[in-house]
Amino acid sequence: MEAFITSANEIMWSLPMVILILLLGAYFTVRMGVPQVRLVGDMVGQLLHGGRTSAGISSFEAFAMALGGRIGVANIAGVAVAMHSGGPGALFWMWVTALLGAPVAVAESSLAQLYKHKVQGEFRGGPAFYILEGLGRNWRWLAAAYAAATVVATTLTGPQIQSNAVSAATAQAWGWDPLWTGVGMAVLFLVIVLGGMHRLGRTVGLVVPFMAAAYILVGLVVVVLNASAVPEMLRLIVGSAFATDSVYAGMLGAAIAWGVRRAVYSTEIGTGSGAQASAAANVSHPVKQGLAQGFSAYVDTLFVCTVTGLMILSTNSFNVLGPDGTTTIVENLPGVEAGPAWTQIAIDSVLPAFGPTLVALAVFLFAFTTLLSFDFYAVTNLAYLVKNHTAQRVAGMIAHLLLAASMVYGALQKSDMAWAFADFGVGLYTWVNILALVLLSGQAITLMKDYDRQKRQGLDPVFDPRRVGITNAPLWEQMADEHARTGDVDAAIETVAETAPDTRDLELEQAPETENSTASDDR
């Protein structure tokens, strides 16, 4: 099994994956008019608007849920792994991926909003839904492939690295037994997820902002207290990123590959994961939530991952493998495995005795909110795969229990194998979603153009799918009609949330046989 997973990862995360993600980001950057820069104000502003309804959660809660999925152990352990195999320059390519990838997050989350459904009284959506609705019934197999791969990744492979990092951090900080750490996390997890989407949304909405801000603050303290090392650290990052530093000669490919790989895992850009949380939000235009999710890529990589990398590099708390992948060319921490321990040592070098405890708490919060988001993603995709409502509830309960069991199992594994399983799961559904985004790029650009047109007219954008030739988005048609009748966008959103029927049962009949050719980005 280990040999198969390793070989599969080498194929899925090879050069074509790297090139496709960067090219897709560059394409959306150009066609959408550089939204990652032009619309930063709208990204931040959207987080302050939109409330919860009976069927959906607030824009901020959806942002926090997606950010909770993004800010996980990859922001601490993953950065260390990237620099261990790709050198300090991997951090630079993580920045590039986040900047180019933000429009990809905008596109996939806008599509998720466009084709969301009301399932058992709650808004659900994501790649499986927008593949079927946007491309038609002939692509049903691709939608099912995404949903199935995501269920596997979020219940079996992904949770393992989260609990593994927590058990490693708590063992070093407090000497806790990994088994009981995993069991404790599983019990707390079940208490929260059994309370439904709204309890999950409230939890991540409270925890995520606090944990991210606290971690960034500690990181800045470490970097400021090592300010004299910053110039050399920045030179090292750039020199390693382009292999101009003699120590890292021959590592350009590794720096790019590992930087993109860990950035994709951390930000979930191109994977469609954040889009599933986006579909649950209450907004008046799909692009509004798309912009909120685009901003989450900045928070994740440009803030949290960067802080981790700067702490590690400014304190020389890292090792680097050479181009052959076996010989160590930089060894500042002999015998210390790449992971949370590097960050613990970095903090401890500046704030003695606090490093292990601070990192253990950060890893726990980062990992736990990611696990909560994983559960939401699993249930969302099961809602697509399983049509019968009773069967959906049973499948959802099984998913909760499988995820909890994976947490316990992962807490007892070696970190390299846990990472391999995590990469395998993410790779499976990322390839499916990238193909879907290429095929649906015209519709994503159409949505952005409609948003921009209304903004130029001085309007608060309200979406009517019929205006751009999209004919199979009934929730949005109802919302547009309610807005036209009352003139109150918030009331229109609330009315749709309360009165719209569960449309999942009608989905297969409503989906077109071929792609919605009338929805063109030429509009």
pLDDT at 200: 63
For residues 83-90, give the mean pLDDT.
94
Residue spans per domain, the chain: 2-322+334-510
Task: State the average pLDDT over residues 102-111.
Answer: 95
From 112, 132, 100, 114, select the one nearest 34 (Cα to Cα). 100
Q: Residue 316 to residues 73, 153, 245, 325, 476: CA-CA distances in angstroms?
A: 20, 34, 16, 20, 53
What burial letters (b/e) apply to 476-485, b meaning 16+ CB within 10 Å? bbbbbebbee
Helix axes 415-439 and 2-12, enclosed angle (nearest 10): 40
Residues 6+ apart with CB under 8 A from 493: 50, 53, 282, 283, 284, 479
- 494-523: average pLDDT: 58
Following DSSP, what letter does each residue of 278-318 receive, concatenated? HTTB--SSHHHHHHHHHHHHIIIIIIIIHHHHHHHHHTT--
pLDDT digits (tens, 9 = 90+) for 129-153: 999 999 988 999 999 999 999 999 9
CA 459-291-422 angle, 5° bins? 160
pLDDT at 522 over 50: no
Q: Determine if residue 325 is left, alpha or beta; phi over 0 gives left, psi from -120 to 50 gives alpha, anything else beta.
A: left
Which residues partner with 57 through β-bridges?
Answer: 281
Counting beta carbons within 10 angstroms of the beta carbon of residue 32, is it exposed (0 to 12), middle (13 to 18) or buried (19 or more)?
Answer: buried
Please state the rounded mean pLDDT for residues 145-170: 90
Provide φ and ψ at 82, rounded to 5°.
-60, -45
Who contacts 324 (Cβ-Cβ below 8 Å, separation ≥6)? none
Answer whether residue 91 shows pLDDT above 70: yes
Residue 461 DSSP label: -
Highest mean pLDDT among 87-91, 500-504, 516-520: 87-91
Sign for the pseudo-dihedral over CA of 403, 408, 411, 416: negative
Task: Give the Å distances, CA to CA, from 251 to 165, 243, 315, 319.
Answer: 27, 6, 22, 14
Which tens digit of pLDDT belongs to each residue from 368-398?
A: 888 888 898 898 899 889 888 888 889 999 9
Question: Which pLDDT does position 46 carry in this prediction?
Answer: 79
Is residue 109 scored above 80 in pLDDT? yes
Name the pTM for this structure: 0.84
pLDDT at 113: 93
- Is 114 within 8 Å of 286 (Cβ atoms)? yes
Is the pLDDT score of 65 beyond 80?
Answer: no
User: pLDDT at residue 518 above 50?
Assistant: no
Which of 423 and 146 is assigned the larger pLDDT?
Answer: 146
Question: 202 or 171, which is more confident?
Answer: 171
pLDDT digits (tens, 9 = 90+) for 296-343: 888 888 888 899 999 999 999 999 999 888 889 999 999 888 888 898
Scanning 87-136, the segments in alpha helix (DSSP H) are: 89-114, 127-135
DSSP character for 82? H
Can you read off the two tokens belonging to residue 384? 């697509």
Q: 17 or 343, which is more confident?
A: 343
d(CA 415, CA 341): 12
pLDDT of residue 208: 67
Give me the pLDDT at residue 513, please: 56
Mean pLDDT check: name the lowest of 186-190, 198-202, 207-211. 198-202
d(C-alpha 508, C-alpha 56), whole Å = 23
Mean pLDDT value across residues 358-366: 82
What is 2-322+334-510's CATH topology? Answer: Amino acid/polyamine transporter I (1.20.1740)
| Paired tokens of 162 | 């989260």
Contacts with 456 (C-beta within 8 Å, 6 or more apart), sequence order: none
Q: Helix (H) and strand (E) counts for the chain? A: 25, 4
Does the pLDDT value for residue 284 go beyond 60?
A: yes
Least confident of 46-50, 92-96, 296-300: 46-50
Q: How far apart are CA 509 and CA 523, in angstroms?
A: 27
Does 94 or 389 have the greater pLDDT score? 94
Residue 353 contacts by C-beta under 8 Å, 6 or more apart in sequence?
none
Q: Would you say residue 462 has pLDDT above 80?
A: yes
Q: Using CA atoms, how far apart are residues 258 and 97, in angstroms rounded to an integer? A: 11
**Contact predicate 363/340, CB 8 Å:** yes
**What is the spatial distance between Cα 335 and Cα 359, in angstroms, rounded to a whole number?**
19
Q: Which two tokens stand for residue 207?
A: 């925890």
Q: How far is CA 134 from the centre of its chain?
A: 22
Chain CA centroid to CA 50, Å: 21
Would you state the pLDDT for residue 150? Answer: 93
Cβ–Cβ under 8 Å, residues 70 and 266: yes
- Amino acid identity of 195? G
Type of residue numbered 386: V
Among 53-67, 307-321, 411-425, the range scoring the smallest mean pLDDT is 53-67
- Give me the chain's average pLDDT, please: 85
Which stretch of 60-69, 76-85, 180-189 has the lowest confidence by average pLDDT? 60-69
User: Is the model's pLDDT at 106 over the cut of 80?
Assistant: yes
pLDDT in tens, 204-251: 666 767 777 888 898 999 999 999 998 999 999 999 999 998 889 889
Give burial (CB, 10 Å; 0-12/13-18/19+) of 229: middle
Nearest to 81 by CA among 384, 337, 383: 337
Please compute, for residue 432, the number of CA atoms within 13 A of its CA located in the half-sphere on the CB side. Answer: 25
